[in-house]
Amino acid sequence: MIKQRVNRHRGGNQDNLFGWTVFLLLLALVAGVSWVGSFYIFGHPEKAFSYGLLRTLGKIDAPKRFELTKAPRGQFLDANKLVERYGKMPPRELEAENASLLRNYLRNYLRSKELVPYVIGNFKVMGTFRLGPNNFFPEGVVALAQSTENPSVLLELVFPSAEADVGQLERMLRMGLDLQLARTLDLSALINARIMPDGRLNLTAVPLLYGSYTSTDATGILNLEPPADLNISAGLPILNQAAVDEADKRFTAQPERDGTSLHSPALMRVQRTEAVDETTIPVARAKPVTRAAVPAQMDGRPVARAIPVNTDESAIPVARAEPVNPAESAIPVARAEPVDPGAVPAAALQPFATPTSAAVTTPPAAPWTVYEPGRMPRGRLLDIDTARDLPAESTGEVQYLAGDFQVSASGQNRAVLRESGGPQNVRVIVDFPGNAAPPAEGETVQRDAQRPFQITNVERGPDGQVNVYVREITRP
């Protein structure tokens, strides 16, 4: 009897031990699945479930509007380059590439080290489709356009906007409209690519600047807005094969039905200018590269001369600025003169995309004083290496920039320069007077002490990018 009770007691302990072992293993399995699942959810926001959960938890932001000078770095691909890159990809490789493109867009390119592919070139609108809650972008319009350089390339260009502007957008984006996506001015980021059954390449792109648009034969200006949310489950591309075939059929038949070629209005992106109070623009303190010295004598009249005082003068080109304005002869030259209070700087324009440079219209910028070469107010003359290290606080001193630059982008009254052979993380953004045409992309711009740029501001981005804002203050 006693032996039977002992055996029963031992059997009960073994059952309990087995049960606890199974329970602990299940807990470990649940913990492992949760850990792996969290990595998957955060690592794949392009999946509908992951995106919805991350948006609910506030762990991912809606698409945001970028400024031109702070947009993610990218590479500009025309129709032929897009075909060369995406048109030859195997299906699985293209699927993985599309997931990466969409993932980077949903993250607002914050964690991406890849260059963003921007679509450039000339396209002609084949048809326009209104977006709804069942589409990837719930509001706005998508225009299907064909490349004029390579007809085998079709582009779905998305125009997210408020519901009130959709009707006007549809009227602007009618069949035959010319879309000319210019390099660095429109920034239409590619988010999907697919190869159609007939071998053509169908691309989906969205302008990261979400700018304002009008057309040559329409009145009013429409503003694009970043989408407040996205319907990831709808997937990309936006248009199905039936919609593409119908637009293709109508586009092909239109010239024959009219008996004439299509009327080709052009879409224009516009940017309003805003006056800026000069007192709100920080003028940063410079390192002691040049300073005002005792003037030399010219015909008995003192002439101010900027003389470099760097101890290693052999490493810095000697730049001599000689203002000869007679009105300045009575001003002591041992101190820097402030900028003319009446000179109001132009608003900080963002260069805008246009179908053609001649088609762009923009209100004139607020004027500022422009001087003859060598007659600008006295100040410190800096090179690009010194200018990028300027602190943010204002000192009231006048700062000038000199050097040899290459034009990387050019728009209405503004150009983006980089110093030839200089640091790649420094851009010089130049505002030009309203009556002066900026240099064309690819040109070389040289500025010395007689014709320097005036520095108005220096901004540093979280990615290390430095933007030096300057303006043209001398006549050619």
Work out the pLDDT band at 329, boundaries 50, 70, 90.
very low
pLDDT of 423 above 80 = yes
Q: What's the pLDDT at 358? A: 33
Q: Which of 388, 387, 416, 414 is nearest to 400 (CA)?
A: 387
pLDDT > 90 in the chain, percent: 42
Q: Where are the beta strands (DSSP E) in 350-425?
A: 380-382, 399-401, 403-411, 414-419
Tens-digit pLDDT profile for residues 143-173: 999 999 999 999 999 999 998 889 888 888 8
Tens-digit pLDDT profile for residues 271-311: 543 333 333 334 444 444 333 333 344 344 444 444 443 43
- Other C-beta atoms within 10 Å of 18: how many? 10
Q: Which of 213, 347, 189 is nearest to 278 (CA)?
A: 347
**Amino acid symbol at 346:** A
> What separation in angstroms does the CA of 221 have from each of 174, 216, 305, 352, 406?
16, 11, 50, 14, 33
> What separation in angstroms does the CA of 309 have from each of 147, 262, 289, 306, 448?
57, 65, 6, 9, 17
Q: What's the pLDDT at 132? A: 95
pLDDT of 260 above 50 = no
Tens-digit pLDDT profile for residues 67-78: 877 889 999 999
Cα separation, 189 vs 193, in Å, equals 12
Q: What's the pLDDT at 318? A: 36
Phi-psi region of 459 (alpha: psi -120 to 50; beta: other; left: phi over 0): beta
Q: What's the pLDDT at 442? A: 87
Half-sphere exposure (CA, 13 Å, Cβ side) for 76?
Answer: 11
Tens-digit pLDDT profile for residues 395-404: 668 899 999 9
Cα separation, 186 vs 437, in Å, equals 20
Tens-digit pLDDT profile for residues 356-370: 333 333 334 467 888
Tens-digit pLDDT profile for residues 12-29: 566 688 778 887 888 878
Work out the pLDDT band at 222, boundaries 50, 70, 90.
confident
Q: What's the pLDDT at 264? A: 63
- Domain parsing of the chain, residue ranges: 2-43, 68-270, 278-472
- Other C-beta atoms within 10 Å of 4: how many? 8
Number of H helices and number of E strands within the chain? 7, 23
With beta carbons less than 8 A apart as the criterion, state whether 101 and 192 touch. Answer: yes
Q: What's the pLDDT at 172? A: 86
Q: What's the pLDDT at 184? A: 61
Between 285 and 175, the higher pLDDT residue: 175
Q: What's the pLDDT at 15? A: 65
